[in-house]
């Protein structure tokens, strides 16, 4: 027996009919089974064979979401928490041939308009709900997005010129799109794949990286972005891989060009090792070298005197000889003309023989006696000649060989090249040169190969103050505070009033590290922007922060620099204290164009370190040229310094040149140096050619980028050696060009008088306070103590009208990192200390008076608006209104204050 109850539910404009059936059958009985329940598996909830999947709507084409479940009586979609109307469902049923179960499938369309009209915390979503006899099941949520791809790339690749074997990085950020665009690279319209070339990597953040550039890598590169909607092409970036020219080996010296006397020998080289390609630099230097030579003149041979005649022979002949030794032929000279021996008849033509037999005995007797006499004579002659030879009769007078020649001294070109430029290597640093565009990392192998030659450049120049690694000053301070100044360094320390207990006084010191920097920086990234400064002693107890000022060399720009303050820990490691752009309650950093002002609670060692964020990051270089006489009266040396633009760094150059007797030949100039990997070139121009000679033939020298960028306050310098042709030349002029490749250039004009006697050095660097190292008490401050106390008493008190220390900080343009001031016992006092440090050189009290005047005007307007109310007791009114009886902030007292004798009078 079956009992079926029927329920009716109304939802979302359509009727659900729910049947609840209870069937009871007796054993062996048969009953009718409802079609909706056949076939079914008892005890089974609906199972989804197909769930809706995430989809993207392309343009205006709707998408379809499909659900399939078994066993299921009904399936409906729910989107964004609401039921989809039944009229929007397309349903069908069929029998699964394998299981024999009824399968229900439902389909709906989702249009672009539906997705755009939906506004909710989540993306547009839909799910399926399936019903069976035993309950319901829910499918997964499927999200629907509108697909798109914007037209403009967020970053297009930029063309580059790179040296061979340099790294190429092409950046590409595709347009915004849903789904996110995939990126491919085209080279000359052909697809670039990193799978076939290990030298190319296209997987890192859509960028194209070529580890070592080859000539074949030159071409036009395009970034191709695509998704299911469209494809976009970036602008084309042209990459040129260039090769700088290199000299071949020198040829052998040619023969002397004259056969006799003084001549010239030559040797040559070509710029073919390698030859410059694709705009690479041509070789610098001479392609032909010449030296003088002395060719020995030929000496023709000359005859000696004839020897004596020999005895008359049986043939009635006698002989004599002569030698070609007066002089002997030398240096390709001619042999003597004529015979070396001669023979003649010794009887005048009457030599006869008698046939008379009676005379035979006499004849033979005469012949025997003659032979004996001749023999004795020959022996005697030989002994005589040997005896005369021992005494040098045959020695030739050699004075004729040198007659008509004068001595001539010259340097060979090889020696000249070795002396090409006078560079003095710093202690512990081998001389090194770097090719254009390569930093120190790429040049290590080059340095090793050239370690046996004299290098052209030294990264750090001469050691400065080798016997003194620290420069500093000390002072004894009490409750009234004071100031420490290291002259001519841009470094000072202000100890505010009340920072030290009234009794006893404390001795404080401040020193600058003169040796090699101990700050650990990542090479090529972080650099030291100013000197390392230490103040103490470590045990001092400060109730208020001190204000330290450190000069720096960065062109401050938050978009291009990340400047950090670092402090040395007890184990001599450096830790980051804060970034100057962040807010901190431990210390305060205020960056001006050339100085950083720090408020510090803890004594210790501090340093400013900069990390360039882009290649547009700039640090300033100070350029100076010095001159001095050379080792001989005819020699003169020019030294060009490139140093970070801080007073401390330049003071080291001054100290070195003072010891060498150098003279500053031109006012120092500033050169912006960009962090773009391009090197720095120094060249000498417009040298009077007929009066001066550059030794040896070099007019341009180069510092690699890493040498300049990572110099860390150590000076770089190069030298040009010159020689005057005549002692009467007493004037010298030229131009020194210092420029960064593809960047800024500065010209230093040199015009000086050259004298043989050593001239007194000129004072190069002087400040008005160069001898003042310590000031104590009120005279160390620009703001008189009484005015300082009145300002603090006024602004430290909370004021409902907003005229408290925060307004003071705002008007003094010190309104960032206010959390630091808020934690101080007297925020106004700390703000004034920072103002004092910032204006210590100018003593500009006008800016302080103007700020207080603006605050007073605010107060005056408030007073006029409430003229019928009780007078306010806020003492800011007394500082902010100018009247004949009430100067601004009591500034009228400045003219009578005992420590303000140099401060202008402030009146209404």
Here the CATH number for the domain that contains residue 201 is 2.60.40.10
- The confidence score (pLDDT) of residue 55 equals 93
Binning pLDDT at 50, 70 and 90, where does residue 434 land? Answer: very low
For the cut 70, the answer to whether the pLDDT of residue 141 exceeds it is yes
Residue 841, domain member (yes or no): no
Residue 131, domain member (yes or no): yes
- The gap from C-alpha 248 to its chain's centroid, in whole angstroms, comes to 30
- The confidence score (pLDDT) of residue 670 equals 94
Residue 830, domain member (yes or no): no
- The confidence score (pLDDT) of residue 395 equals 33
CATH classification at residue 736: 2.60.40.2660
Do residues 228 and 109 share a domain? no
Do residues 709 and 622 share a domain? yes
- The confidence score (pLDDT) of residue 147 equals 92
Do residues 744 and 684 share a domain? yes
Do residues 107 and 156 share a domain? no
- The confidence score (pLDDT) of residue 803 equals 60
The alpha carbon dihedral of 873, 875, 881, 885 has a sign of: positive
Do residues 64 and 190 share a domain? no
Do residues 130 and 184 share a domain? no
The residue whose two tokens read 């928490």 is 81
For the cut 70, the answer to whether the pLDDT of residue 881 exceeds it is no
Q: Quick one: average pLDDT of 490-505?
A: 87
Do residues 83 and 69 share a domain? yes
Point out the domain boundary residue: 194, 212, 242: 242
Cβ 23 vs Cβ 38: under 8 Å: no
Beta-carbon contacts of residue 246 (< 8 Å; ≥ 6 apart): 271, 272, 273, 274, 283
- The confidence score (pLDDT) of residue 128 equals 94
Q: Quick one: average pLDDT of 519-547?
A: 82
Using the 8-state DSSP alphabet, how is residue 683 labeled? E
Q: Which of 211-215, 533-537, 876-880 has the lowest mean pLDDT?
A: 876-880
Do residues 138 and 164 share a domain? no
Domain count, the chain: 3
CA atoms within 13 A on the CB side of 533: 31
Closest to 152 (Cα-Cα) out of 233, 40, 222, 75: 233
Residue 180, domain member (yes or no): yes
Residue 883, domain member (yes or no): no
For the cut 70, the answer to whether the pLDDT of residue 69 exceeds it is yes
Beta-carbon contacts of residue 417 (< 8 Å; ≥ 6 apart): 696
**Token digits of residue 726:** 């005549």
Binning pLDDT at 50, 70 and 90, where does residue 797 land? Answer: confident
Do residues 644 and 670 share a domain? yes
Query: Residue 124: beta bridge partners?
Result: 144
| pTM > 0.75: yes or no | no
Beta-carbon contacts of residue 336 (< 8 Å; ≥ 6 apart): 300, 301, 302, 303, 324, 329
Binning pLDDT at 50, 70 and 90, where does residue 742 land? Answer: confident
Closest to 401 (Cα-Cα) out of 300, 329, 303, 299: 299
Residue 907, domain member (yes or no): no
- The confidence score (pLDDT) of residue 863 equals 54
For the cut 60, the answer to whether the pLDDT of residue 462 exceeds it is no
Q: Quick one: average pLDDT of 449-453?
A: 33
Point out the domain boundary residue: 111, 146, 181: 146
Binning pLDDT at 50, 70 and 90, where does residue 31 land? Answer: very low
Q: Quick one: average pLDDT of 498-509?
A: 85
The C-alpha atoms of residue 886 and residue 908 are separated, in whole angstroms, by 8
**Selection from 414-428, 509-523, 659-673 with the highest mean pLDDT:** 659-673
DSSP 409-476: ----HHHHHHTSS---PPTT-------TT--HHHHHHHHHHTTTS--S--SS-SPSSTT--EEEEEEE
Point out the domain boundary residue: 146, 162, 180: 146
Do residues 717 and 622 share a domain? yes
Q: pLDDT for 281-308, tens place per residue? A: 889 888 888 898 988 888 889 999 999 9
Residue 165, domain member (yes or no): yes
In the chain, the percentage of residues whose pLDDT exceeds 90 is 27
Choice between 26 and 336, residue whose per-residue pLDDT is larger = 336
Q: Quick one: average pLDDT of 126-155?
A: 91
Domain of 626?
A: 618-753
Q: pLDDT for 107-137, tens place per residue? A: 999 999 889 888 878 889 999 999 988 889 9
- Phi-psi sector, 134: left (phi>0), alpha (psi -120 to 50), beta: alpha
């Amino acid at each position: 027996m079956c009992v079926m109850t029927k329920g009716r539910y109304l939802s979302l404009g359509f009727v659900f009919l729910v049947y609840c059936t209870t069937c009871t059958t007796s054993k062996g009985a048969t009953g009718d089974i409802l079609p909706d329940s056949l076939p079914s598996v008892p005890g089974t909830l609906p199972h989804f064979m197909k769930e809706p999947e995430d989809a993207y709507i392309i343009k205006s084409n709707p998408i379809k979401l499909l659900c399939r479940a078994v066993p299921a009586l009904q399936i409906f979609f729910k989107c964004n928490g609401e039921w989809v109307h039944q009229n929007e469902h397309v349903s069908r049923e069929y029998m699964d041939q394998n299981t024999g179960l009824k399968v229900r499938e439902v389909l709906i369309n989702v249009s672009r308009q539906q997705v755009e009209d939906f506004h909710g915390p989540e993306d547009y979503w839909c799910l399926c709900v399936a019903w069976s006899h035993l309950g319901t099941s829910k499918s997964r949520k499927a999200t629907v997005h509108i697909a798109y791809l914007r037209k403009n790339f967020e970053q297009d690749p930029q063309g580059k010129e790179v040296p061979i074997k340099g790294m190429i990085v092409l950046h590409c950020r595709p347009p915004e799109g849903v789904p996110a665009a995939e990126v491919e690279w085209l080279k000359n319209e052909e697809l670039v794949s990193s799978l076939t070339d290990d030298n190319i990597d296209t997987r890192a953040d859509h960028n194209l990286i070529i580890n070592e550039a080859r000539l074949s890598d030159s071409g036009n590169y395009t970034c191709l972005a695509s998704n299911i909607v469209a494809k976009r092409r970036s602008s084309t970036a042209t990459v040129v891989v260039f090769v700088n020219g290199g000299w071949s080996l020198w040829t052998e010296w040619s023969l002397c060009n004259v056969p006799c006397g003084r001549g010239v020998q030559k040797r040559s080289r070509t710029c073919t090792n390698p030859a410059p390609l694709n705009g690479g630099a041509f070789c610098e230097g001479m392609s032909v070298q010449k030296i003088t030579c002395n060719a020995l003149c030929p000496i023709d041979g000359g005859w000696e005197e004839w020897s004596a005649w020999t005895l008359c022979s049986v043939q009635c002949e006698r002989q004599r000889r002569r030698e070609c030794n007066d002089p002997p032929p030398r240096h390709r000279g001619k042999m003597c003309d004529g015979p070396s021996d001669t023979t003649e008849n010794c009887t005048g033509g009457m030599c006869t023989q008698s046939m008379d037999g009676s005379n035979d005995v006499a004849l033979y007797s005469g012949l025997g006696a003659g032979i004996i006499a001749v023999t004795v004579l020959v022996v005697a002659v030989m002994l005589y000649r040997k005896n005369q030879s021992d005494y040098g009769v045959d020695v030739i007078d050699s004075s004729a060989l040198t007659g008509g020649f004068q001595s001539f001294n010259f340097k060979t070109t090889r020696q000249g090249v070795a002396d090409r430029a006078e560079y003095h290597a710093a202690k512990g640093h081998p001389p090194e040169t770097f090719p254009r565009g390569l930093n120190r990392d790429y040049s290590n192998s080059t340095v090793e190969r050239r370690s046996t030659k004299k290098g052209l450049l030294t990264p750090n120049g001469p050691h400065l103050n080798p016997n003194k690694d620290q420069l500093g000053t000390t002072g004894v301070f009490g409750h009234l505070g004071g100031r420490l100044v290291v002259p001519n360094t841009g470094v000072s320390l202000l100890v505010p009033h009340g920072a030290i207990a009234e009794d006893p006084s404390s001795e404080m010191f401040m020193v600058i590290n003169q040796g090699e920097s101990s700050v650990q920086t990542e090479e090529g990234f972080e650099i030291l922007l100013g000197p390392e400064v230490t103040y103490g002693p470590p045990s001092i107890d400060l109730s208020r922060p001190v204000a330290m000022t450190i000069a720096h060399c960065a062109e401050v720009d938050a978009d291009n620099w990340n400047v950090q303050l670092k402090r040395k820990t007890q184990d001599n490691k450096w830790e980051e204290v804060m970034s100057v752009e962040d807010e901190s309650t431990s210390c305060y950093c205020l960056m001006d164009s050339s100085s950083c002002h720090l408020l510090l609670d803890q004594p210790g060692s501090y340093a400013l370190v900069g990390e360039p964020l882009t290649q547009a990051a700039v640090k300033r270089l100070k350029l100076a040229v010095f001159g001095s006489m050379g080792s001989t009266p005819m020699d003169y040396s020019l030294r060009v310094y490139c140093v970070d633009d801080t007073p401390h760094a330049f003071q080291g150059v001054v100290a070195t040149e003072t010891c060498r007797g150098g003279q500053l030949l031109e006012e120092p100039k500033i050169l912006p140096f960009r962090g773009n990997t391009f090197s720095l070139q120094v060249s000498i121009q417009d040298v009077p050619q007929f009066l001066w000679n550059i030794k040896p033939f070099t007019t341009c020298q180069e510092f690699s980028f890493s040498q300049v960028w990572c110099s860390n306050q150590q000076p770089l310098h190069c030298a040009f050696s010159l020689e005057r042709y005549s002692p009467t030349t007493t004037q010298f002029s030229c131009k020194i060009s210092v420029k960064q490749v593809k960047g800024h250039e500065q010209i230093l004009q040199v015009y000086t008088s050259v004298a043989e006697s050593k001239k007194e050095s000129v004072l190069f660097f002087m400040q008005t306070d160069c001898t003042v190292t310590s000031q104590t008490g009120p005279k160390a401050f620009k703001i008189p103590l009484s005015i300082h106390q009145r300002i603090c008493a006024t602004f430290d008190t909370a004021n409902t009208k907003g005229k408290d220390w925060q307004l003071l900080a705002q008007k003094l343009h010190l309104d960032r990192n206010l959390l630091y001031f808020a934690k101080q016992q007297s925020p106004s006092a700390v703000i004034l200390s920072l103002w004092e440090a910032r204006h210590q050189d100018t003593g500009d009290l006008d800016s302080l008076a103007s700020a207080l005047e603006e605050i007073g005007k605010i107060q005056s307007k408030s007073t006029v608006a409430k003229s019928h109310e009780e007078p306010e007791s806020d003492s800011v009114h007394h500082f902010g209104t100018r009247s004949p009886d009430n100067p601004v902030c009591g500034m009228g007292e400045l003219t009578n204050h005992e420590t303000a004798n140099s401060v202008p009078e402030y009146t209404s």
